[in-house]
């Protein structure tokens, strides 16, 4: 790419269930299904309905099916460890799939990303290595083919935050990166965040603009755990179960209460009754939809679920990028 005309702030929630991108003029939730060694297309035969193939992403090394129905067309890849986030081929293919959905809105811009990662991937002795690896594969020029069409984008900078931090700044900031007056005091007091994602449940508490470490952490009891409980015989891939869940065709009658107890048990183990002193408890992620009729009532009026709890992390990371770029450079203009 040459001579980009403007830059775009982008929030990127690298979720295990779906990637979420938030730009000024567009946003996307892209299902994190990916497969390889896809079946060849076959002619329509009598009595069977023809289904369109999923999006096909070609990189310099391999071809993948990504997004909805990818697991119907090839061998599913479901490695949900943190190594996937640091530049595994399937993660790159999914990222390109998500970017393809918003290609028209990028319009040759330089991208400045703030990436939201699970707390466990940035904590501990390997945290700095993981952050460096994410920056290494994301920064620079990217080229790929999506269903045979060439695409390219240049990522000028990458900053990393936890997914829970994205949720916090979605609550605190408006779309222009300015603090919402009635919520700004929450940044000085204590605010708790519960992020219920596909793979993990993340907790974070911020007091006076700093993380309170003893109340912050994550555990792998996200929506994935609910799907495993709903399919004890392991008859489906996690991607297939997720698709059934989204289509409201998955029986959760027995699994949902068990999973909720696991989620609540983790929250209680980290917070106990100290949440009573928090100014607010933010609940985000896909799991917020599943537990919205029960979990908020445990916090006696302090709970807050945003209008779109799935997109909230990526949107908050976008707002944080706008805030930081506004502080660092008042001279550069941003489209949108």
pLDDT, one tens digit per residue, over 63-114 is: 999 998 888 888 888 776 778 888 889 999 999 999 999 988 887 889 999 9
Residue of 167, 141, 149, 144 whose CA lies nearest to 4: 141
**Residue pair 259/230 in contact by the 8 Å Cβ criterion:** no
Beta pairing, strands 217-219 & 201-207:
antiparallel
Which pLDDT belongs to residue 127?
87
The widest CA-to-CA distance across the chain, in whole angstroms, is 66
Three-state DSSP at 10 gives strand
Distance CA 247, CA 156 (A): 38
Average confidence (pLDDT) over 236-243: 89
- Mode of pairing for the β-strands spanning 280-284 and 303-304: parallel
Phi, psi of 154, rounded to the nearest 5 degrees: -115, 125
Q: How far apart are CA 295 and CA 155, in angstroms?
A: 39
Instruction: State residue 46's pLDDT score.
Output: 54
pLDDT score at 315: 96
What is the share, in percent, of the chain residues with pLDDT greater than 90?
A: 60
Q: How confident is residue 186, by pLDDT bands cut at 50, 70 and 90? A: confident
Alpha-carbon span 221 to 218, nearest angstrom: 9
Per-residue pLDDT band at 123 (split at 50, 70, 90): confident
Cβ-based neighbour number of residue 164 at 10 Å: 29
- The predicted-structure confidence for 190-222, as pLDDT tens digits, reads as follows 999 999 999 899 999 999 888 898 999 889 899
| Main-chain dihedrals φ then ψ at residue 297, nearest 5 degrees | -70, -15
DSSP labels, 39-59 = PPP----TT----PPPEEEE-
pLDDT score, position 208: 86
Round the average pLDDT of the chain to a whole number and report it.
Answer: 88
* pLDDT score for 316: 96
How many Cα atoms occupy the beta-carbon half-sphere of 208 within 13 Å? 0
The whole-angstrom separation of Cα 294 and Cα 296 is: 6
| The two structure tokens encoding residue 143 | 């080229």
Lowest mean pLDDT among 155-164, 173-182, 232-241, 326-335: 326-335
Instruction: Choose the weakest-confidence range: 8-17, 118-127, 311-320.
Output: 118-127
**Apex CA 178: angle with CA 177 and CA 182, to 5°?**
135
Q: Which residues contact residue 132 at a Cβ distance below 8 angstroms, ignoring those fewer than 6 apart?
A: none
CA distance 257 to 262: 9
* Helix, strand, coil percent values for the chain (each to nearest 5): 40, 25, 35
Q: Return the CATH fold of 7-328.
A: Nucleotidyltransferase; domain 5 (3.30.420)
Confidence at residue 333, expressed as pLDDT on a 0 to 100 scale: 41
pLDDT one-digit tens code per residue, 277-314: 999 999 999 999 999 999 999 999 999 999 999 999 99
Give domain limits for the chain.
Answer: 7-328
pLDDT digits (tens, 9 = 90+) for 156-183: 999 999 888 999 999 999 999 999 998 8
Instruction: Give the Cα separation of 186 and 202 in Å (integer).
Output: 19
88 vs 46: CA distance, rounded Å: 41
274 contacts 215 by C-beta, under 8 angstroms: yes
- For residue 50, pLDDT over 80 is answered with no
Distance CA 274, CA 261 (A): 19
Q: Are strands 140-146 and 55-58 parallel, antiparallel or unpaired?
A: antiparallel
């Amino acid at each position: 790419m040459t001579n980009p005309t403007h830059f775009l702030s982008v929030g990127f929630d690298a979720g295990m269930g779906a990637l979420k991108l938030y730009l000024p003029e567009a946003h996307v939730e892209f299902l994190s299904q990916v497969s390889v060694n896809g079946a060849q297309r076959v002619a329509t035969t009598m009595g069977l309905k023809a289904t369109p193939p999923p999006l096909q992403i070609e990189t310099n090394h391999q071809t993948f099916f990504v997004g909805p129905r990818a697991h119907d067309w090839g061998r599913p890849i479901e490695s949900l460890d943190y190594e996937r986030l640091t530049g595994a081929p399937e993660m790159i293919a999914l990222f390109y799939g998500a970017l393809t959905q918003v290609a028209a809105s990028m319009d040759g811009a330089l991208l400045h990303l703030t990436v939201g990662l699970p707390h466990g991937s940035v904590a501990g002795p390997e945290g700095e290595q993981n952050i460096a690896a994410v920056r290494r594969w994301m920064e620079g020029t990217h080229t790929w083919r999506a269903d045979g069409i060439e695409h390219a984008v240049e990522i000028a900078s990458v900053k990393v935050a936890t997914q829970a931090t994205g949720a916090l700044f979605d609550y605190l900031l408006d779309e222009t990166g300015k603090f919402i007056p009635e919520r700004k005091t929450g940044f000085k007091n204590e605010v708790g965040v519960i992020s219920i994602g596909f793979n993990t449940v993340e907790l974070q508490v911020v007091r006076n603009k700093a993380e309170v470490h003893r109340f912050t952490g994550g555990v792998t009891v996200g929506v994935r755990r609910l799907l495993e409980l709903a399919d004890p015989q392991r008859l489906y891939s996690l991607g297939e179960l997720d698709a059934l869940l989204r289509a409201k065709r998955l029986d959760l009658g027995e699994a949902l209460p068990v999973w909720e107890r696991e989620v609540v048990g983790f929250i209680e183990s980290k917070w106990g009754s100290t949440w009573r002193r928090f100014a607010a408890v933010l609940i985000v992620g896909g799991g917020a939809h599943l537990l919205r009729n029960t979990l908020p009532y445990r916090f006696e009026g302090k709970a807050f679920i945003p209008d779109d709890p799935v997109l909230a992390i990526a949107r908050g990371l976008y707002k944080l990028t706008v805030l930081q770029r506004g502080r660092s450079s008042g001279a550069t203009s941003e489209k949108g």
